[in-house]
Structure formats: C-alpha cells, structure tokens
Amino acid sequence: MGSMLLLDILRRSGRSLVSSKTRTILTAFAIAIGTFALTLTLGASNGAQNYANVLVKDNFDPTELIVTKDQNFFSTTDDDQPQVYNPSFGSITSASGAVRQVQMLNDSDLTRLGQTAGVASVRPAIALALQYITRDGQRKYVATLEAYSAYKKPDLLAGNIPPTLPSHSLILPEGFLQVLGFSTARAAIGQTVRLGVQKQSDQSALLSSLLQDSTASAITGLNSANNNAQEEQFKIIAVTQKPSALIQPGTALYLYASNSDVIALNDYTTSGTTNYHKYLSAYVRVTDGTNTAKLNAVQARIKAEGYSAQSVIDTEKALTQVITVLQGIVSVFGLIAIVASVFGVVNTMYISVLQRTREIGLMKALGMHKKDINRLFRFEAALIGLLGGALGSAVAITLGILLNPWISRKLSLGSVNLLEFKPGQVGILIIALVIVAVIAGLLPARKASRLDPIEALRTE
C-alpha cells in the first residue's frame, strides 16, 4: 500500500469511529462535560470582567486615587486584636458587624495631599446620612446623600444631568418615586423635596440621655429634636434607574447633589463635634492621570507620606476578586472532568486496537507502514477530542445565549451580558482538548503500530 496520504488516513479514522458510534459518542460525551464547564467559566469570566469595566468606567474617575489615612482601610479582614481607644479616630462597622476605629483625614491632610507633586485637586468623600427626605403631604424617609461626580453615568428614567450640578439640585433614585407620591419619573422632574439634617452633637446628647434615663421627658426631648431638624429645599433634575445589586449593594437609595451642597450640609451636622472637617477618605485627582506611569508615581508618593491609596485598577481587581475565586473552583471541576475523560479515551482506543487486531494485521500485510497505523489511531483520538470539545462548547454557548437576557433582567445588568463568549478563546480550548486526546491515544496507537502482522492475522 505504501505510505498513505493524510486525507486517506483521516477518512479511514472517521469510518472506524462511525462503525463503533456508541462507544465514540460516550467517550466524546465525557470530554464534552468538562468542556461545557470550562466554556461557561470562560464566558462568566469575560462577562464579569466586562461588567466590572463598565461599572468602574461609569462610576469612577480614572485619573483619581481614593486616599485614606488608615493603612488598613482597604483590608477585607477584621482585626483579630483589640484596639486601643483613640478619641481622635473615627469608627466603621465591617461586613461581619465588628466595629473598628480608623484614622480620619482632616483639613491639614487634604492640604498636604494637594501639595503632593503631580496632584491636580483633592475633594473629600462624603456619604451624609440625612435625617429624612420628604415633600408636602408625604411621610418622611431616611436616605443617604452623596456628592455627584461627572464620571458617574447612571441610567436615567427621566431628566438630564448637566456637567456641573446647580446649587440645591437633586438626583433622585427610582425607589423614592412612589413613596414621595410621584406617579412617574417624568412627573418628579422640576418638583421640590425637603432634606432634613440634624447636628450630631444634639442627637448624641439626647441619645446618651435616653440610654441613662428612659423617662418620658428624655423620650419627648428626642422626638422634639427629630421634629426640629433643619430643612433644605432641593429641586429634582433627574431620576436614576435602580442599579444592579450584583456589585452595587446598598446604593439603590443614594441621593446625589453638588459637592458644595453636600459639604455644607455635612459641616452643619458635624459642627461642634469631633467629626467636624474629618473624612474617612478623599478623592485625589492626578494631573495627566490617564497616563498609568504618572498615576502610579503619584500613588507611590502618597503612600510614602504615610497614606493608603487605591487606584481605579485596584478597585476593579477588588470587584472581581470574589468572582474570580468562584470561577477558579468551577474550572477545577471542569479540569477534573477532562482528566477523567482522558482515561476514557485511552480505554476506548485500547478496545479499538483489540477488536481490530486482524484488520491491523491485514493492513500491515498489504504494506501499510507503522507510522500510518500510528497516525490512524492518533487521528481517531483527535476526532474524539474534537467531537467532545465542539459538542460541550456548542451546548454551553447555546445555553449562555438563552440565559443571558434572564440573568441580565434578574440582576439589573442592563445591556451587559454576564456570559460573554469569545470565539478565539473557545477555539483555543477545543484545540487544547484535541491535543490532550491525541496524547491520551499515543500508547494505544503505539501498540497498534507494533503488532506483528502474522500474529495479528492468526487472531480469532
């Protein structure tokens, strides 16, 4: 027969697999299970990364650094040792409910940061807990007020957000529409609401009095203080759609106003207390901050001065860290399934060699070379890997396309798909599986190529 052409060997391999299609399909199906898990993991990784990119792009200024005075502010773990009380520190509550003290930034810190080489501007980060928000004829509701940044790009139900917010203008979240008596988002535009704030010193004193003396007079004093909160009128200029709860938990009811308005209200509430002009963090804008090298250089300078600084890239990594861990776990199970399928390929090919011993002997007797027989079985293994890889990826991609609209709707992801498949990645995965299958078929192929033709033809 001489040396066979590769195309002839490929055709013969295909016919051999078809002749034992049940065994071929079962082996390919084992590979498909692992491929299915890995393809979905790749799609979820791409989607999560894309969503994190969109979230960061729509909420953070890439030229800014988030700076704190506390070195452990960005730590995700609680301190396991008791802290010494320091009245100049502030306190925060962690996700586990543990309270720890943190160093606060003050005016001198903001000045020092502003004088750092490469820094363009500094603004304090303030999340002001309002006493309430209300309007005529409606009940009062608690809310949080933040300064609006031009880099925030929330989805709007109605209205428009100018580059610079006018004084006493307000961006209202969707969740307040119904409770404040607005029939639609459009009906809220141009309407006035009242924001109530109260000095922390007054409230702290009354709370202390209430804890020490639970008499009617103490309770009456507390209620009186709540009713006498200072009110400021704000005009609604836009209504934001409810954000995704996937990566923005707890922000659905945030109100946004101009930076000057938020600072003025915060100064009023903290006047006369130890928290006056003290901030947990600040936003430091870097000159030419879109240049990564310059941004990193300023970040290093700020850290050298004893502060903790986090960039947009650091924030993005923190957002995807948990997702990456979960994807890693799924990937391990997928790899385990593929490793198990390798043994299936070896077993299938060995059985094929045993069942076709006489056929192999006849091919050798007719002059077929060892290398061609070796190629024949390696091609069969490759075709099994290709079939399993293509089947698993096709099912994963089809399922992902069908599930994406439902997932996006449930998690309020907007137009972002949580499962995003890239043809290049899927192609590389399938090629890798073909290579793995070929490696698994090397020993059976070697055994087939070394069969003695006379002994093979004697086999019953």
- pLDDT, tens digit, for every residue of 153-172? 778 899 999 988 999 999 99
The terminus-to-terminus CA distance of the chain in angstroms comes to 24
> In whole angstroms, what is the distance from residue 437 CA to residue 459 CA?
28
State how far the Cα of 237 lies from the Cα of 158, in Å rounded to an integer.
8
**How does pLDDT run across 38-50, given as a tens digit for each residue?**
898 888 888 877 8
- Residues 252-267: what's their mean pLDDT? 90
Phi, then psi, of 70 in degrees rounded to 5: -90, 125
Per-residue pLDDT, 224: 46
Q: Tell me the C-alpha distance between 380 and 28, whole Å.
A: 11
**Per-residue pLDDT at 228:** 55
DSSP string for 189-215: TT-EEEEEE--HHHHHHHHHHHHH--S
Q: Write phi, then psi, for 217 (nearest 5 degrees).
A: -65, -40
* CA angle in degrees (0–180, nearest 5) for 123-312-277: 20
Pairing of strands 141-147, 127-134: antiparallel
Residues with Cβ < 8 Å from 348, sequence gap 6 or more? 23, 24, 27, 384
pLDDT at 460: 53
Distances (CA, A) of 292 to 2, 120, 308, 316: 62, 15, 18, 15
Is residue 156 within 8 A of residue 239, CB to CB? The reply is: yes
Q: What are phi and psi of 151, to 5 degrees?
A: -90, -5
Highest mean predicted confidence (pLDDT) among 250-259, 295-304, 328-337, 347-356: 295-304
The residue among 201 and 2 whose pLDDT is bigger is 201
Distances (CA, A) of 26 to 73, 348, 391, 392, 434: 54, 10, 12, 13, 16
Asked whether the predicted pLDDT for residue 189 surpasses 90, the reply is yes
pLDDT score, position 391: 92
Contact indicator for 388, 29 with CB cutoff of 8 Å: yes
Confidence of residue 379 (pLDDT cuts 50, 70, 90): confident
Alpha carbons 64 and 87: distance in angstroms, whole number: 30
User: Average pLDDT for residues 3-13, to the nearest whole number?
Assistant: 66
In this predicted model, which residue has the larger pLDDT, 71 or 107? Answer: 107
Question: What's the pLDDT at 193?
Answer: 95
Q: How far apart are CA 310 and CA 299, in angstroms?
A: 8
Residue pair 12/376 in contact by the 8 Å Cβ criterion: yes
pLDDT at 29 over 70: yes
Q: Of 16-20, 296-300, 410-414, 442-446, which has the strongest mean pLDDT?
A: 296-300
The Cα 264–Cα 168 span in angstroms is 11
Choice among 53-62, 134-143, 296-305 with the minimum mean pLDDT: 53-62
Count CA atoms within 13 Å of residue 261 on its CB side.
25
Does residue 119 contact residue 299 with C-beta atoms inside 8 Å? no
**Whole-Å CA distances, 300 to 125, 159, 286, 317, 429:** 21, 41, 12, 18, 39
DSSP bridge pairs for 236: 170
- Is 76 or 69 the better-scoring residue by pLDDT? 69
- Say if residues 409 and 35 touch (Cβ distance below 8 Å): no
Among 63-72, 186-195, 410-419, top mean pLDDT goes to 186-195
Q: What burial class does residue 386 get, using C-beta atoms within 10 Å of its C-beta: 0-12 exposed, 13-18 middle, 19+ buried?
A: middle
Q: Give the alpha-carbon dihedral of 213, 215, 220, 226, to 10 degrees.
A: 40
> What pLDDT digit, counting tens, does each position of 390-415 carry?
999 999 999 999 998 888 887 767 67
Domain boundaries, the chain: 6-53+319-458, 60-315
Say what percent of the chain tops pLDDT 70.
Answer: 75
Span 76-94, mean pLDDT?
A: 56
Q: Is 111 exposed, middle or buried (0-12, 13-18, 19+ CB in 10 A)?
A: exposed
pLDDT value, residue 439: 85
d(CA 296, CA 169): 36
- Examine the pLDDT at 353 and tell me if it is beyond 80: no
Q: What is the 8-class DSSP label of residue 176?
A: G
* Planar angle of CA 53, 247, 324, nearest 5 degrees: 70
Q: Is the pLDDT of residue 79 over 70?
A: no
Closest by CA to 458, choosing from 321, 320, 338, 362, is: 362
Average pLDDT over residues 62-91: 67
Closest CA to 322 of 79, 76, 36, 56: 76
HSE (side-chain half, CA atoms, 13 Å) at 150: 9
Lowest mean pLDDT among 274-278, 415-419, 445-449: 445-449
Q: Would you give the distance in Å from CA 347 to the centre of its chain?
A: 41
Confidence of residue 151 (pLDDT cuts 50, 70, 90): confident
Mean pLDDT lowest among 30-34, 89-93, 122-126, 437-441: 89-93
Query: pTM (2 decimals)?
Result: 0.64
Q: How confident is residue 248, by pLDDT bands cut at 50, 70 and 90?
A: low
381 vs 257, more confident: 257
Check residues 459 and 196 and name the one with the higher pLDDT: 196
Is pLDDT at 24 greater than 70 in this prediction? yes
Cα distance between residue 52 and residue 54, in whole Å:
5
Mean of the per-residue pLDDT values for the chain? Answer: 79
pLDDT of residue 207: 45
Residue 154's nearest CA partner among 236, 235, 239 is: 239
> DSSP secondary-structure letter at 175?
G
| pLDDT exceeds 80 at position 457 | no
Among 217-226, 360-369, 400-409, name the one with the lowest average pLDDT. Answer: 217-226
pLDDT at 9 over 70: no
